[in-house]
Structure 1
């Protein structure tokens, strides 16, 4: 009995390590292989899916060689890839290391599934533990951190995973199918099948630490539809998704009522996420997902046969579980690719989590379930309290940035930086917000207009890029959703923000959503209107229609006050979209430094990042400093107000 918790620990730690690799693999597919939409979407999707299709051969390999030797080799490869990713310089090396780690992780899942018939405790603790760990790191992956702390924690995690895997006793051989004795059918395939869909729902909605700051600090009457950096203590509300998930997954009896209740709650939570109601979506999806996992857990017994015990050669049920685990991860891959592809196809992607939740609900509702909690005999506090405590610690460590204070005398000079940060990923494909912060600080910015701000896209690793950058710069922010609730534009300012508005822009055939964010800054007795946007041109055309909408919105919002408008406008000087701003009476603040190419960052040829101002505002000290912290260069300008 002393080894009864080792399989649970091995599964939980393995899920955490695999998630670390996935958080590198997913953005590497987009930024390195995809090169920010330069690679055709069909080729990108095929490349991503091929690794999951290759893993479908893993259960057959496990059946021939045994679950233990295959599992240990795969665990070692996964662990080595995980550590190598921290040392990788980015680029192609990072991409192939992430692919190798992903494939090894999928093979490890197939081998582990073949020998573990009750994985729900390990899966639940692994998902919750990974979420809490990500929160403790401020949603900045351990893989990207490096340094003494990063390496120490990475090595400890990997060693714990390898130790638990090696110490787990070999499973008994498959039960004999002939003779007088019979063995109860080994179950667990449904639980393993739900791992992939659960990863998507947990990382996208239920257990996404990046949403803790993006969802729980929302707008107010003066900031409708906007999200602001909070002031003071962190909210404890994010503790509850983790708490409810674990209680439902590990300690709630599977009665007839909850067999219907949990799938319904999960579907409602996913629907609320698609509608943009992030707070209730996290709570309901968390408890619903945990409950659905618990519904798939079924007690089972298995008889040990005389042959193959040392290698743990699985029988038909073990192979079935292996295929279920890999098949569930294939569902994860397809849903993730479809979620990303909708931005190129122009269809809303909120239905992807809803469709995934439907699958989870159907699998959970079908078939028998235990009538007792998964962790029978284990006190609730033993598995729940440590993770909840760590969640509270995470919230207290990563407090929001302080509020801005107006200057004692009215400011007349403002330094503005407009920067498309590509979700914080540099040209090497690595998340490096320190490099982004260095570029902004070098620009001596008072006000920063950011485009392509990600606040929790699982596709990019699930980081709250805005909060991480704001903490580094010590600047409060206002965020406006564009393509979905956690992707859009933001303004950071050392001056207090008194009010704000956001206007969704009509697509005009463009696949990705866009908006115009207007805020009012208090410069110490006088006000400055600032508008940040990221125009999205339709295929083969310029964003002239959106440019006219933004220009009209900006002039109305300014209402006679000094106005600054900027961002990634995806148009060059002289083009119709650029002319739409000058025709509205705005002035090109970068005119004195033209030509001023900003894209691509390593060989700038296009002038598509701009700053416009209202007449009477002086512009000087224009710069586009060279940097590969993004695929764009920032533009900086000093503005003198009349």
Structure 2
């Protein structure tokens, strides 16, 4: 194996491990460091930003002790943290373990940058492989899965990464190489922004799955699609081909940045039917921008050729001068010391570039997602980041001499795309139950705020959520705080994963944006899907009401409305409650009606009264008080089920558990006689 291939593979594996750590660390800021929206967004942002600022000291360490020592030590710490996270300890230990892994990963990147002037192949391969594996795992990472298979696969990745890090140092004579040139700073600067945009848009399997569901369903409401992950191998192949094929000729140089900007603008429009186009354009555009920085500038090319010539002369001189006097040795030593110092200065410059790029990553991530707490428009954030990437790429002035890369573009893109292609081929569509036995006499209804899939301990707890729901043997499930691909929450399609586990197809209603909102899962076919936006009233995550009709057979139908009311600061969600009650009763048009969700209001409140004054009945009344929040010490009655008078409620419960920060509520509804 050639030296460049080995270092490229090691860089790619390190990127995969670092992203794995980020998928644990980013949600930990919200679910462990922050608690139930009680921690100020500014404080959480400062916590996140602080570790990336701390990593800015790493280039000085590189200049003092050398890039190989820094990279090697940090690689071991990153590998240990990643392997330890497979145990998913939860709580503060998980947060600090992920934080240690993050800081080690940032320092490792700085160390690797010091000795690598062509990072684009390794960065691109790592990002693409991580996306392909994430899709193959159906967005449910090894870190959260646990079990012997997750440990084994994680251990294999860690061992290969450490071997790839150690071998170039241990076997220098067997691996022909030239010293790194002075270039590469632009490519390293883009590492952070590209990581952000691939995680948010270009190589995000959950976003691709969600985008496909909008195209299948049409309109504003998304349903479970067959082959929902089909765009992923296309995006992966396009990204890798554009990144590894080398920079285009002068007339074609603006095409990649233009595609990137168009793709990100489509994403920023917050339209579900544009997500697939946004993914594909952003993927190809990002790859092309990376390729533009991979070509050496004119000054870099001259300096690199001089460095390679000097290295060859040094080897010949050393061979000829074996056994010469101490005076010659002293001169070589003085010259070597000066060369080492210059090399370390160059390494530090690249280190500062990658550290600054990762700082842009966290600034962009915090800036985008904190908007959902602070309430300012965030659509400009990814567009600005894409603008930075495009500007850096266009500013690169290639020397005209194209250097061959360590990876064949077509074969590499084909191999990784084939890995991603397994995901849609293995995907199953959940079948809807048949109506052959006629309409049921009763429906078991569950309403649950699932907090994006994370339990009180900060673990992504699909098993706990699905068990809490499945124990109630539900016919219909209404979910709040459903996340379908936010990078901040690890990039999972929580709704699709729960749908698969429960064997219940879903309907999704977007609230904050196309991938965050509410959902209905049903064992009966659903028709007449409608989603109504509610008055925001200063609620940053937005609110909506999702209405569906259950087709129970023989002409029997029941209307179901899932919602999550978001009260404005220091007030109740009275206006939203009134809007939901009006929408729901109008939608039902005299049919049996169920309205449920996290309503953020308690019995006796003015917002609660909006539902009863509309003629609806509190289905949980016989079990009052029935507190549902917080899950570990429930004191508030804010999760509710309201029904039309013709439905008879029985067996209402709020079973204890900590798979979310809310408890689910469940009730059996007897349908009116036909």
TM-score, normalised by the number of residues in structure 2: 0.90
Q: CA deviation at 1:378?
A: 5.1
**Residue 630 (structure 1) aligned to one of 636, 654, 660:** 660
Check 1:347–1:535 CA distance in 2 against 1; reply closer, same or farther (3 A cut).
same
Check whether the contact 1:170–1:311 (CA below 8 A) recurs between aligned residues.
no
1:212 pairs with 2:241: no
Q: CA RMSD in A?
A: 2.1
1:229 paired residue number = 224
Distance in structure 1 (CA, Å) of the matches to 2:577 and 2:251 = 54
For the pair 1:500 / 2:529, whether they are aligned, the reply is yes
Counting only pairs closer than 5 Å after superposition, residues 377-526 of structure 1 correspond to structure 2 as 379-525=408-554, 526=556
**Per-residue Cα deviation, 1:370-413 (whole angstroms, up to 9, x for no partner):** 65777558543321111111111111223232234334211221
**1:111 equivalenced with 2:111 (yes/no):** yes
CA contact (8 A) 2:116 2:180 kept: no
Gaps in structure 1 of 5+ consecutive residues: 173-182
Work out whether residues 170 and 309 of structure 1, in 8 Å CA contact, stay in contact via their aligned partners in 2: no
Q: SS where residue 231 of structure 2 aligns?
A: coil
CA contact (8 A) 2:210 2:228 kept: no
Give 1:92's aligned residue.
92
Higher helix residue share: 2
State the alpha-carbon separation in 1 of the partners of residues 156 and 403 from structure 2: 28
Unaligned 5+ segments in structure 2 are 173-178, 315-334
Q: Distance in 2 between matches of 1:261 and 1:372?
A: 20
Measured against aligned partners, the alpha-carbon deviations of 1:184-223 in whole angstroms (never above 9, x if no partner) come to 96111111111111111000000001112111122667x6
Please name the residue that 2:643 is paired with: 613
Larger radius of gyration: 2
Counterparts of 1:201 and 1:157 in 2: how far apart (Å)?
A: 24
Residues 247 and 288, structure 2, Cα contact 8 Å, conserved in 1: no
**Corresponding residue for residue 268 of structure 1:** 262
SS class of match (2:430):
coil
Find the aligned partners of 1:266 and 1:372 in 2 and give their Cα distance. 25
Secondary structure of the structure 1 residue equivalent to 2:253: helix
Q: CA deviation at 1:430?
A: 0.4
Quick one: distance in 2 between partners of 1:627 and 1:184?
56
SS at match of 1:607: coil
Instruction: Provide the secondary structure at the position in 2 that maps to 1:131.
Output: helix
Corresponding position of 1:15:
15
Please give the TM-score of this superposition, normalised by the length of structure 1. Answer: 0.95
Q: Does 1:63 align with 2:63?
A: yes
Structure 1 segment 68-467 matched on structure 2, within 5 A: 68-169=68-169, 186-218=182-214, 224-231=219-226, 236-275=230-269, 276=271, 277-299=274-296, 300=301, 301=304, 302-303=307-308, 304=311, 307=336, 314-369=343-398, 371=400, 375-376=404-405, 379-467=408-496
**C-alpha separation between the residues in 2 aligned to 1:112 and 1:483?**
39
> Secondary structure of 1:538's partner?
coil
User: What does residue 177 of structure 1 align with?
Assistant: none
Q: Give the distance between the partners of 1:522 and 1:341, measured in 2 at CA.
A: 40
Conserved 8 A contact 2:28-2:458 = yes
- Measure, in 2, the Cα distance between the counterparts of 1:9 and 1:370: 26
Q: Report the CA distance between 1:4 and its aligned residue.
A: 2.1
Q: Deviations over 1:139-198 (max 9, x none)?
A: 0111111101100110011111111111124899xxxxxxxxxx9961111111111111
Once the two structures are TM-superposed, the CA of residue 352 in structure 1 deviates from its matched residue by 1.4
Cα gap change, 1:309/1:596 in structure 2, threshold over 3 Å: closer, same or farther? farther
